[in-house]
Structure formats: structure tokens, C-alpha cells
Amino acid sequence: MFKLMISLTVLFTSLHLFANTIEQAENFYAQRGEDAVNANKAVAIYTTLAEAAGDEIAKGKLLIKASEAKYYFASRQTVKSIIKAEHKLGYKLATQAAGLLSSSFGVPVKDEVKEDLARAYYFYSGHFGKYALQKSKPWRLLNWKKMKKRLVAVRKLAIEVEDWGGNRIFGRSRQVLGSAKEGLGFLALAYASTLKSFPTEEGEKLISINSTNTYYYLDALKGNKKTEKFCEIYAIFSDFSAADDEIIAAHNPRLVPETLNTIEEFDNDEKMHNYATQCD
């Protein structure tokens, strides 16, 4: 009986510490907008927890969280060598997660982890795409099939995951690689499938809940010289970008730092604003 009590005490203590550590990682990640280093602190905790996890599904889910947090940290870096190194770490974490959650490529070990597997492939593709941007165009073309394979899997497993993230990355990648028309189609679908209203002085207006969907779609419209549609969405996104912080935060509470970062990128995009002079 005494040994049983000791064992139960150790178990409950371990569970308590595990819960506190998960909470700590989530708190760090929630503060990523204040300092991107906080996201990297979350990565360290998630990977440590994954190493200690006995269950492979739990381990895989923790590694997805680590890859997600690493993506934010890597995306806020400005030195090319660091960007490459951090995104490489990120897609390796996602690769590990996918391996744990699948019985073979694209086949989840259980139906209940289908969306988790999609997210693993999504974060692999996000990291790999950003890593590829630091490489030459011939290298990108040669390695595109690695991303394409995973993005096709994302769309088959759970097309709506990460606000139609598979379409977003696929469309942006095709645009970057020179297939602007093909890229536009995927981005148009990601944008149209994620619309949500927000208040303005003129009344409710619709914009994607994911600001990156909107920004990439605008860039694709500009690249394809779809001026009328560009001007329509540019005006709405300009209104959204100038909205009160509370309105912006309420539009997609899960991605407030990412939304603010995209708005900053949009505000500083002189090429896009120059193109928008045709809208006057």
C-alpha cells in the first residue's frame, strides 16, 4: 500500500509538472508578439516535453507545436544565415512529427490525428518555403516537388487547416516560381473561403480572417494585372489595417501578432501602393 501511495504521488507530481510546463510554453508563445524570443523559448519547452513523452501521438503533437513556434521566431529574423538555419530546424521538427503521426506518407496512424498530420505537413511546407527563398531559383524549382507532395497531402487530409493554409502556401509558391496565373487561383480560393466581416464607418465589410491570405492574394492580383479586383480588396484591407486595435484583435484572436506583422508589411509595401494609384 505504501509503495502504491508513493507511486501515485510521483505520478500526480509528474502530471502536475507536465501541465505547468505546457502552460509555461503556451504562455511564452502567447507573448511572441512582444518579443519573438518568447516563441523560441516555447520551442525549447515543447521539444523537451516531446523527448520525454512516451506516447508517439502526444510526441508528434508537441513537435507540431514546436515547429509552429519556431516558424514565428524564424519569420522575425533578418539575417539570411539565421533565417535559413531556423527554418531548417523548423521543417525538421515537422518532419519528425509527421513520421510519428503517419503509418505511411499521407496516411494517419488514426483517423483522429488526420488534422494533426495535415498541420505537420503544413508547417513543413511553410518552413521549407521560407528556407527556399534564401536559395537560388534553380534550387527552388528542383526542390519544389518536396513541398508540392506535402501541400497536396494537406489539402486531401484537411483542406481548411490553418485558414486554408495548404492553398495559401501552394498559391504563393507557384507565384514565386513563375506560375502567376496558377498561383492566383489557389490564393483566390483561400481568400474567398475565409471571409469574415468587420465594422467600418460605412458598415460591415468582408475580409479574410487570415491577413496573409489577403496580402498574398493582393500581390497575386497585382502580378496578374487584375486591377479591378485588386482595387476592391486593397480598399477593404486598407480600412482593416487602419481599424482600432480591438477590431483587428477580434478578427482572428489566435493570430493577432501575425496579423499585425502582415499589416506592417502591407503598410511598407511601396510597390503595392504604387500599383494602387491606378485605383484613384
Torsion over CA: 193, 220, 242, 258 (sign): positive
Whether residue 89 contacts residue 130, with contact meaning beta carbons closer than 8 Å, is answered with: no
Residues 211 and 255: their CA atoms lie apart, in Å, by 9
pLDDT per residue, tens digit, the chain (280 aa), is: 434 333 434 444 444 445 559 999 999 999 999 999 999 999 999 999 999 998 999 999 999 999 999 999 999 999 999 999 999 999 999 999 999 999 999 999 999 999 999 999 999 999 999 999 999 999 999 999 999 999 999 999 999 999 999 999 999 999 999 999 999 999 999 999 999 999 999 999 999 999 999 999 999 999 999 999 999 999 999 999 999 999 999 999 999 999 999 999 999 999 999 999 999 7
Q: What single-letter amino acid sits at 186? A: F
Confidence (pLDDT) at 5: 37
Residue 10 is which amino acid?
A: V
- The owner of cell 515547429 is 67
Give SS3 for 1.
coil
Residues 6+ apart with CB under 8 A from 51: none
Q: What is the 3-state secondary structure (H, E, C) of 179-236?
A: CHHHHHHHHHHHHHCCEEEEEECCEEEEEECCHHHHHHHHHHHHHCCCHHHHHHHHHH
45: cell is 519547452
Q: Which of 239, 231, 232, 225 is nearest to 279 (CA)?
A: 231
Q: How far apart are CA 204 and CA 125, in angstroms?
A: 34
pTM to 2 decimals?
A: 0.92
